[in-house]
Amino acid sequence: MPTARRIGPFEVPAVGLGCMNLSHAYGVAPTPEEAERLLLTAVEEGVTLFDTAALYGFGANEELVGRVLAGHRDRIVLASKCGMTGVDGRRVIDGRPETIRRTADEALARLRTDVIDVYHLHRLDRKVPVEESVGAMAELVAAGKVRALGLSEVSAATLRRAHAVHPIAALQNEYSLWSRNPEEGTLAAARELGVALVAFSPLARGVLTDAPPDLDALPASDIRRGMPRFDARHYPANLARRSELARLAEQAGIGLPRLALAWVLSRGPHVIAIPGTRSVAHLRENLSTLDADVPGEVLDTAGRLLNSATVHGPRYNEATLAEIDTERCGRAG
């Protein structure tokens, strides 16, 4: 498996680090000391792509990443996102050019840098043509504040419209054994256009790890409590599929997380995975996928066991799905 892949002008290992859960979404955040240790260990272990966003912790994640990694800036590829932020304690999608320009300046200050390597539009604002949002982001490139542009959670058609305004270096979409939406268009479109497909939640929001979420232990603030795949109607069936995958991984001698990540990376040489974690041990396990040689028949079997036809429940509730521009696939949402 090629361990180096391209994202715009940058070459990065095929596994990066999604920083969201150090500040946002998954229950109680780790202590600053724990988060700092995780980030610095990632640098030591060779991670170069670090992904954050203005939304995460309503700015706190960018501040964390900026503070901890400022001294390693020349060793990393720093990615962040605009177009979805926290306003008065609420998540707001806003792709207006003036908001994008302001958010970028705020991000530069929080990240303690003069330039963001890859800047994504976090969500398509359905009230603003993507050409206008990307046009404002292109101005940031011209001003030297951003090096390359990306999108997140958009369809192949929107990717093509944006790419016609300014070259798009990266497209972030959820992609894992249980979330196959990119296979409905963006996986192929990204490869055709020379765009990196950056897969977030490649371990199915913790399900495809050695310790899947215990729903009874999740804090009320954990976003998985509002996701249909984790509710009482669907989660037991999804855990049963996970158990089958775990047996397959054990038989192959590789462990479930490595199998799940290897499957994602096998989908194309333009695919990069950005699993998130709060555990140094899990970080190292994820990175060990770069050295894994998983037989094709094992990957094929994994893909048959869990896919858009066998997963139970859509990935988001209907209100959230209505905000997202990606293609839907089967009952997977």
Structure tokens given for 312: 């139970």
State how beta strands 90-93 and 146-152 pair: unpaired
Dist CA 29 CA 41 (whole Å): 18
- Among 26, 56, 119, 316, which one carries the catalytic annotation? 56
The SS3 assignment for 17 reads strand
Tell me the per-residue pLDDT of 51-108, one tens digit each, with 9 for 90 and over.
999 999 999 999 999 999 999 999 999 999 999 999 998 999 999 999 999 999 999 9
Q: Looking at the DSSP assignment, which residues form a beta bridge with residue 176?
A: 179
Structure tokens given for 142: 């011209």
Tell me the per-residue pLDDT of 211-235, one tens digit each, with 9 for 90 and over.
999 999 999 999 999 999 999 999 9
Which residue in 294, 239, 243 sits closest to 264, CA to CA? Answer: 294
56 is known as an active-site residue = yes
Dist CA 67 CA 52 (whole Å): 13
Burial status of residue 33 (CB atoms within 10 A of its CB: 0-12, 13-18, 19 or more): exposed
CATH 3.20.20.100 for domain 4-328: yes
Structure tokens given for 309: 């036809």
* 5 alpha-carbon distance from chain centroid: 16
Dist CA 92 CA 119 (whole Å): 18
The span from the first CA to the last CA of the chain, in angstroms, equals: 30
Other CB atoms within 10 Å distance of the CB of residue 127: 9
DSSP track, 66-131? HHHHGGGGGG-EEEEEESEEEETTEEEE---HHHHHHHHHHHHHHHT-S-EEEEEE-S--TTS-HH
Give the per-residue pLDDT at 252: 96
Q: What does R_g of the chain's alpha carbons equal in angstroms? A: 18
For residue 299, report the phi and psi dihedrals to the nearest 5 degrees.
Answer: -60, -40
Dist CA 65 CA 50 (whole Å): 8
Give the per-residue pLDDT at 315: 94
pLDDT band at 333 (very low <50, low <70, confident <90, very high): low
The H-or-E segment that residue 241 falls in is helix 235-252
The H-or-E segment that residue 171 falls in is strand 168-174
Structure tokens given for 115: 């330039």
pLDDT band at 331 (very low <50, low <70, confident <90, very high): low
Tell me the per-residue pLDDT of 133-152, one tens digit each, with 9 for 90 and over.
999 999 999 999 999 999 99
Dist CA 246 CA 211 (whole Å): 11
The H-or-E segment that residue 51 falls in is strand 49-51
Dist CA 198 CA 71 (whole Å): 25
Dist CA 321 CA 271 (whole Å): 23
pTM over 0.85: yes
Parse the chain into domains and list their residue ranges: 4-328
Burial status of residue 218 (CB atoms within 10 A of its CB: 0-12, 13-18, 19 or more): middle
Is the CB of residue 310 less than 8 Å from the CB of residue 331? no
Tell me the per-residue pLDDT of 281-307, one tens digit each, with 9 for 90 and over.
999 999 999 999 999 999 999 999 999
